Amino acid sequence: MILPLLKGLGTTFKAIFSKPVTILYPEQKRPVYDRFRGRPELQLYDNGKVKCVACTLCKTVCPSQAIRVIEPAEGSYGEKYPVEFIIDLTRCIFCGFCQEACPKAAISLNKEYELAQYDKKLLIYNIDMLKPKG
Ligand code: SF4
Ligand code: SF4
């Protein structure tokens, strides 16, 4: 009777002094792997303009039909850019095909993974939400 109790106490004491395997999430976060694919992000030139030329290749390859590129417009030097660019994160499966297909390296999947929302509408990202933060 007393032996199993002592055994149990021994296990408890061993656990008290060993390094915890858990972390204090969300205060502490585990680093993600290099190949991790998080939130899709539009890349910018130094002047703040999006690198996207509205070719719609990413939209074509997206297996989830999560991307909408709206009305390519023309800048003063004839360059094309999207008037609006939308990714529906409720559809996105973070496959990275859009990143692979883009001829301008204008879209990439970053390391952000805390994307959950209570309202599905907040997961429809527009061009401003898709720009890098900070
Ligand atoms: S990561 Fe995949 S599913 Fe998500 S927008 Fe890009 S191509 Fe579509
Ligand atoms: S493939 Fe690249 S350049 Fe073409 S629409 Fe998509 S993000 Fe823009």
The CATH number linked to 105 is: 3.30.70.3270
For ligand 1, atom 4, name the residue with the nearest CA: 92
Please give the distance, rounded to the nearest whole angstrom, from the Cα atom of residue 70 to the centre of ligand 2.
Answer: 11
pTM assigned to the model:
0.85
Nearest ligand to the CA atom of 98: 1
Q: What is the pLDDT at residue 77?
A: 78
Ligand 1 lined by 54 (C-beta under 6 Å): no
Q: Concatenated DSSP letters for the chain?
A: -HHHHHHHHHHHHHHHHSPPS---TTTS-PPPPTT---SEEE-B-TTS-B------HHHHH-TT--EEEEEEEE-TTS-EEEEEEEEETTT-----HHHHH-TT--EEE-S------SSGGGGEE-TTTTSPP-
Stretches where the chain sits below pLDDT 70 are none
Domain membership of residue 16 (yes or no) is: no
92 pocket-lining for ligand 1 (C-beta < 6 Å): yes
pLDDT value, residue 111: 95
99 falls within a domain: yes
Task: Give the integer Cα–Cα distance in Å for 23 and 21.
Answer: 7
* Per-residue confidence (pLDDT) for residue 88, from 0 to 100: 98
| Confidence at residue 126, expressed as pLDDT on a 0 to 100 scale | 97
Atom 1 in ligand 2: residue holding the nearest Cα: 102
Looking at ligand 2, which atom is closest to the CA of residue 107? 7
Predicted local distance difference test score (pLDDT) of residue 134: 72
| Residue 61 domain-assigned (yes or no) | yes
Distance from the CA of 104 to the center of ligand 2, in angstroms? 7
| pLDDT at 133 (0 to 100) | 86
pLDDT at residue 102 in the model: 98
Establish whether residue 38 lines the binding site of ligand 1, counting it when its CB lies within 6 angstroms of any ligand atom: no
- b/e map of 81-101 (b: 16 or more CB within 10 Å)? bbeebbbbbeebebeebbbeb
Domains of the chain: total:
1
Domain of residue 100, residue span: 33-125
- The rounded radius of gyration (Å) of the Cα atoms in the chain is 23
> So what's the pLDDT on residue 71?
76
